Structure 1
Amino acid sequence: MHGPASPGWLLVALCAATGAYCLLRMRSTVEEQRRAAGSEALMGFGMAAMAVPAAVLTLPRWAWLVYTAVFGTAALHALWAARTGPHHLHHLMGAFAMAYMAAAMTVTPGHRHGTGGSGVPLLTTALLLYFTGYVLLSGVRLLSAPALAVGGGAGTGPPGWGDRPELARACRLSMGIATVAMLLTL
């Protein structure tokens, strides 16, 4: 992606840490949480790879085509999963946004997307509005979530890393923030 190197490296670190935590969440005993964590790990690591500053590493066109195919496939998978419930729609939006950004970099890898006389494309604006709203709503939900008691009832221990809903929300919030940052530099 385009943009200054220091914020780019911070974005890489945030996305890689989020992807690593999502891998830990895949150890959950709940199948749906494991499935969501796997999808989010793919997004986190993919976002980290795409966020490497262009001043450090300029990827060839074929690499952006691979990103487009991977995230396009993830979007199709999320679309298929969305038939079982609306909670998969956000994964669809995230995968679609990543495929869109990779496709934009395929077309113009050395130039800023949307500059010149054309302005910012309508789809970029729509994605920015969606993810900005998602980040604000997720932040409010995270702040207003009740604190979980560590230790629960008799015979129960603290929840495992894969079963901490507040950490999963923070993970999704950080990926939403990273998506907004990447869309702004597109």
Structure 2
Amino acid sequence: MHGPAMSGWLLVALCVATGAYCLLRMRSGSEQARRAAGGEALMGFGMAAMAVPAAAAAPSSWGWAVFAAVFGAAALRALWLARTDVHHLHHLVGSAAMVYMAVTMAPAGPHGGHAMHTAGGVPLVTGALLAYFAVYVLRAGVRLMPAQAGSGAGGSGGADWGARPELALACRLSMGLGMLAMLVTL
């Protein structure tokens, strides 16, 4: 990722924490919920790897191809799973965005310049992805707000950490914010 190193490292930390919590979520819930958590864990760790500041560890020329292949496979899987669960359409868009960013940031040739990066990718695609994730983040943020002011936000104090829907939503919100931050740097 390009941009200030401190914000890159903060994004890496956020994405690693989110991915780790999604792995924890894979231990509880229904099969469908575990699948969704697995897709989100992959997205969190993949975003963390892509967000490492270029000054610290610039991926090799084939590293971007690996990102594109992994997230291309994740996009195909999300497309397949979207037949039965509409939530996987969001995973499809997220995986496609990761492929787009990997292709956009890939070195142009032997000189290692970023061909499309200097132009910021395709402005229409970048703008559409920014708009999608901005709306997604706003919707997730609204859904995190308590339904009633006096409803008591405590819930069940001893509940399994993997079965806390508000934490899963906060995870999704974090990854949406991370995706926005990564898209802005294109």
Query: Does the alignment pair 1:149 with 2:155?
Result: yes
Moved more, 43-52 or 140-149: 140-149
Aligned to 2:135: 133
Tell me how far 1:112 sits from its aligned partner.
7.8
Matched length: 179
In the TM superposition, residue 113 of structure 1 has moved relative to its aligned partner by 4.3
Amino acid at match of 1:58: A
1:135 deviates by 0.5
Percent identity reads 66
What is residue 56 of structure 1 aligned with on the other side? 56
* Residue 35 of structure 1: aligned partner: 35
Unaligned runs of 5+ in 1: 152-157
Shift, 1:69, TM fit: 0.2
Distance 1:112 1:16, change over 3 A: farther
Q: Which residue of structure 2 lines up, in the alignment, with residue 154 of structure 1?
A: none
Q: Show the 5 A alignment for 1:70-149.
A: 70-108=70-108, 110-111=113-114, 113=116, 115=118, 121-145=123-147, 147=153, 149=155
TM-score (norm 1): 0.89
Quote how far apart the aligned CAs of 1:119 are. Answer: 8.2
Look up the match of 2:6. Answer: 6
Which amino acid in the other structure matches residue 135 of structure 2?
G
Secondary structure, counterpart of 2:83 in structure 1: helix
Q: Is the 8 A contact 1:19 1:44 kept in 2?
A: yes
* 8 Å Cα contact 1:114/1:120 also seen in 2: no
Q: After superposition, give the CA deviation of every residue in 1:107-148 in whole Å (9 maximum; x if it has no partner).
A: 5564484545x8862101100000011001110111135636
Contact 1:2 1:112 in 2 (8 A): no
1:34 is displaced (CA, Å) by 1.0
**Unpaired runs of 5+ in structure 2?**
none
